[in-house]
């Protein structure tokens, strides 16, 4: 797989990492960053993540072989509207957003109908860091990327998206957007919301200095997740409301049951839950190490 020109909209952790990885594997000739205003991509240029900054979408998209949208998901519709009039037919459009139903809806609204060359993607790789300085060419190596093509998606475009992600070392799987959003609501969006809620609720206590002074490992792990980019997670929680609400309701019921067990001194229930959770985590780690 070789792309002559890749147009990147959003050159932060994800966009920057993809550009760096494609360059490292010699899978791309030129990376053009489409900026909102001149100078926006200065740092990305300095780091060699993009070769050229363009603010004019027509100039950026001329001769493009692929377009990757790597902005927070709330910006997707505005980005699609900006590129729509200048997108040559058949050019692959993909993204890295954490929610997929919202990206398909944004594209339908911006383009009028879904372009067959649009193949939404979600790399299950990342960190709490953001911005171009955090870009890492190895970020996708050995990680999964979920493609969520629509029925309208062209099979050639799906194959091109697959080849792009495989070129940076990812394992590509396909899934319906709705199923993706339900799975990720439970495994990613709910945990981030819980981490933000826990850290915020403790930080707002009067004795918060002492709480942070004596924070043991467990709380520290939650604080790492809660230091993720607030705008990005605000966008995700709004975009995936329909799947996140049932995940939250299910979790609230579980928490309620645990509260009852603590109140009633029901050690059997606590031990059952803790043992089951530990076994699940141990199995998960073992499966991911092999």
CB of 260 to ligand NAI, least distance (A): 35
- Is 225 a binding residue for ligand ENO by CB under 6 A? The answer is yes
Nearest CB to ligand NAI, comparing residues 84 and 258: 84
CB of 148 to ligand NAI, least distance (A): 13
Nearest CB to ligand ENO, comparing residues 153 and 240: 240
Cβ-contact 162, 147 below 8 angstroms: yes
- Is 229 a binding residue for ligand ENO by CB under 6 A? The answer is no
- If we measure between CA atoms, which residue out of 5, 198, 178, 202 comes closest to residue 92? 5
Nearest CB to ligand NAI, comparing residues 40 and 266: 40
Q: Which stretch binds ligand NAI (CB under 6 A): 112-120, 125-133, 165-173, 195-203?
A: 125-133
Nearest CB to ligand ENO, comparing residues 116 and 191: 191
Among 30, 128, 136, 174, interactor with ligand ENO by CB under 6 A: 128
Interacting positions 63-122 with ligand ENO (CB under 6 A): 98
If DSSP codes are grouped into helix, strand and coil, which group holds residue 222? helix
Interacting positions 146-205 with ligand ENO (CB under 6 A): 188
CB of 65 to ligand NAI, least distance (A): 20
- Other CB atoms within a 10 A radius of the CB of residue 174 amount to 15
Residue with tokens 């697959």: 162
Burial 258-290 (b: 16+ CB within 10 A, else e): eeebeeeeeeeeeeeeeeeeeeeeeeeeeeeee
Q: What is the 3-state secondary structure (H, E, C) of 93-126?
A: EEECCCCCHHHHHHHHHHHCCCCCCECCEEECCC
SS3 content of the chain, % helix, strand, coil (to 5): 55, 15, 30
Interacting positions 209-268 with ligand NAI (CB under 6 A): 229, 232, 236
If DSSP codes are grouped into helix, strand and coil, which group holds residue 33? strand
- Is 57 a binding residue for ligand NAI by CB under 6 A? The answer is no
Among 58, 59, 63, 78, interactor with ligand NAI by CB under 6 A: 78
Burial 1-28 (b: 16+ CB within 10 A, else e): eebebbbbbbbbbbbbbbbbbbbeeebb
Taking the alpha carbons of 117, 118, 124, 130 in that order, is the dihedral positive or negative?
positive
| Residues contacting residue 231 through CB under 8 Å, at least 6 positions apart | 72, 74
- Is 138 a binding residue for ligand ENO by CB under 6 A? The answer is no
Residue span 84-113 as binding mask against ligand NAI, x where in contact by CB under 6 A, dash where not: ------------xxx---------------
Cβ-contact 243, 182 below 8 angstroms: yes
Nearest CB to ligand NAI, comparing residues 9 and 20: 9
Among 124, 134, 248, 258, interactor with ligand ENO by CB under 6 A: 124
Positions touching ligand NAI (CB under 6 A) are 9-15, 36, 70-73, 75, 78-79, 96-98, 123, 126-127, 130-131, 229, 232, 236
Residues that bind ligand ENO (CB under 6 A): 98, 124, 126-128, 188, 225
């Amino acid at each position: 797989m070789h792309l002559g020109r890749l147009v990147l909209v959003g050159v932060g952790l994800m966009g920057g990492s993809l550009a760096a990885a494609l360059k490292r594997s010699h899978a791309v000739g030129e990376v053009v960053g489409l900026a909102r205003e001149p100078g926006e991509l200065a740092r990305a240029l300095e780091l060699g993540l993009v070769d050229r900054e363009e603010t004019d979408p027509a100039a950026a998209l001329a001769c493009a072989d692929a377009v990757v949208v790597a902005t927070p998901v709330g910006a997707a519709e505005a980005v699609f509207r900006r590129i729509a009039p200048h997108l040559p037919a058949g050019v692959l459009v993909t993204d890295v957003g954490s929610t997929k139903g919202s990206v398909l809806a944004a594209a339908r609204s911006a383009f009028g109908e879904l372009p067959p060359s649009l193949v939404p993607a979600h790399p299950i790789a990342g960190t709490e860091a953001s911005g171009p300085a955090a870009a890492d060419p190895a970020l996708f190596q050995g990680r999964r990327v979920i493609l969520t093509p629509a029925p309208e998606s062209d099979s050639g475009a799906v194959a091109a998206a697959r080849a792009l992600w495989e070129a940076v070392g990812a394992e590509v799987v396909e899934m319906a957007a709705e199923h993706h959003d339900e799975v990720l609501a439970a495994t990613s969006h709910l945990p981030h919301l819980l981490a933000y809620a826990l850290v915020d609720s403790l930080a707002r206590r009067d004795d918060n200095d002492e709480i942070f002074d004596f924070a043991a490992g467990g709380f520290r792990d939650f604080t790492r997740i809660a230091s993720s980019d607030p705008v990005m997670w605000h966008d995700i929680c709004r975009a995936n409301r329909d799947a996140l609400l049932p995940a939250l309701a299910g979790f609230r019921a579980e928490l309620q049951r645990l509260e009852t067990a603590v109140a009633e001194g029901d050690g059997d229930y606590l031990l059952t839950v803790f043992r089951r959770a530990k076994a699940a985590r141990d199995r998960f780690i073992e499966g991911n190490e092999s």
